[in-house]
Structure 1
């Protein structure tokens, strides 16, 4: 029976820990800096907050426009609303009126 005797190498016992450290380093780097990592999540959260603020502004503007449309289309047309919209669209005013731009 033939057997091979190997000398114990000094570096042989460091192979498994070195591979483990390499894998852990790779995954920990990408968990912070990757496409779905912590920094990407912070960027996403900042974007979400700014877009939510913009959405709130747009929702308020839409509600305001819906109120104006309701005043003009419910069958009983408000005379003041009609007068205001006509003057704004035609860019006209009477000679005895004071116009305040804001």
Structure 2
């Protein structure tokens, strides 16, 4: 199968299927936490998707509430499946930090 044939087939997949494939491919290219930044004065210094104010804990909490990746990509159109892979990798590497941020946010609300 040629690259063009694969590309054609991929373009005809649903958004959810595309997101899953991209996530699986990106896992092979990503390192834990890559694309995640912590900037003092931005979102309270929480870990965020680089170049955004979207906190990793927010994405993790959304996932815990049952929101799937395809919906996250629709809700946040300026992030990519690779950003989600990086967020999940960061969350896996820093579970206590993410859990504490979720708890703190829920206490404020």
Q: TM-score under structure 1 normalisation?
A: 0.26
**Larger helix proportion, structure 1 or 2?**
1
**Larger strand proportion, structure 1 or 2?**
2
Of the two, which has the highest radius of gyration?
1
Q: Which structure has more RCO (C-alpha within 8 Å, separation ≥ 6)?
A: 2
